[in-house]
Amino acid sequence: MKKLSARRRHPLAAVVVLLLALAATGGLYAAFAPAGKAQADETSQSLTIKEGRKLYEVGCASCHGTGGQGSSDGPSLVGVGSAAVDFQVGTGRMPAATSQGAQVPRKKPVYTQTQIDQLAAYIASLGAGPIVPTKQQYGPAGADIAKGGELFRTNCAQCHNFTGKGGALTKGKFAPTLEGVDPKHIYEAMQTGPQNMPSFPDTTLSSKNKKDIIAYLHAVDSSETTNPGGLELGGLGPVSEGLFAWIFGLGALIAVAVWVAARTAKAKKS
Told to check if 167 binds other proteins by CB under 8 A, we report: yes
Count of CB atoms situated within 10 Å of the CB of 172: 9
Report whether 159 belongs to an annotated binding site: yes
Instruction: Determine, following the binding rule CB under 8 A, whether residue 198 of this chain makes contact with other proteins.
Output: no
Is there a contact between 173 and 102 (Cβ–Cβ < 8 Å)?
yes
Binding to other proteins by residue 111, rule CB under 8 A? no
Considering the rule CB under 8 A, would residue 249 count as an interface residue with other proteins? Answer: yes
State the amino acid at position 224 in one-letter form: E
Query: Is there binding between residue 36 and other proteins (CB under 8 A)?
Result: no
What's the CA gap between 235 and 231, in Å, rounded? 9
According to the annotation, is 218 in a ligand binding site? no
The pattern of x and - marking residues 47 through 76 that bind other proteins according to CB under 8 A reads ------------------------------
Smallest separation (angstroms) from other proteins to the CB of 100: 13
Using alpha carbons, select from 127, 134, 115 the residue that is nearest to residue 51: 115
196 is an interface residue for other proteins by CB under 8 A: no
Q: Which of 166, 182, 193, 208 is the binder for other proteins (CB under 8 A)?
A: 166
Give first-to-last CA distance, the chain, whole Å. Answer: 140
Instruction: Give the HSE-up count for residue 168: Cα atoms under 13 Å, Cβ half-sphere.
Output: 4
Is 93 a residue that touches other proteins (CB under 8 A)?
Answer: no
**189/199 Cα distance (integer angstroms):** 7
What is the crossing angle of helices 36-59 and 113-126, to 10°?
100
The annotation status of 64 as a binding-site residue, yes or no, is: yes
Q: Is 60 assigned a ligand-binding role in the annotation?
A: yes
Q: Per the annotation, does 10 bind a ligand?
A: no
Choose between 58 and 261: whose C-beta lies nearer to other proteins.
261
One-letter-per-residue 3-state SS of 19-64: HHHHHHHHHHHHHHCCCHHHHHHHHHHHHHHHHHHHHHHHHCHHHH
CB of 189 to other proteins, least distance (A): 17
Interface pick for other proteins out of 19, 102, 110, 128 (rule CB under 8 A): 102
Query: Residue 156 annotated as binding?
Result: yes
Q: Which helix (H) or strand (E) holds 220?
A: helix 207-220
Between helices 183-192 and 207-220, what is the axis angle to 10°?
130
Part in contact with other proteins (CB under 8 A); list of ranges 70-78, 145-153, 179-187, 193-201:
145-153
Q: Which parts of this chain interact with other proteins (CB under 8 A)?
A: 101-102, 144-150, 153-154, 157-163, 165-172, 174-175, 216, 219-220, 227-233, 235-246, 248-250, 252-254, 256-258, 260-262, 264-265
Which residues define the annotated binding site for heme c? 60, 63-64, 156, 159-160
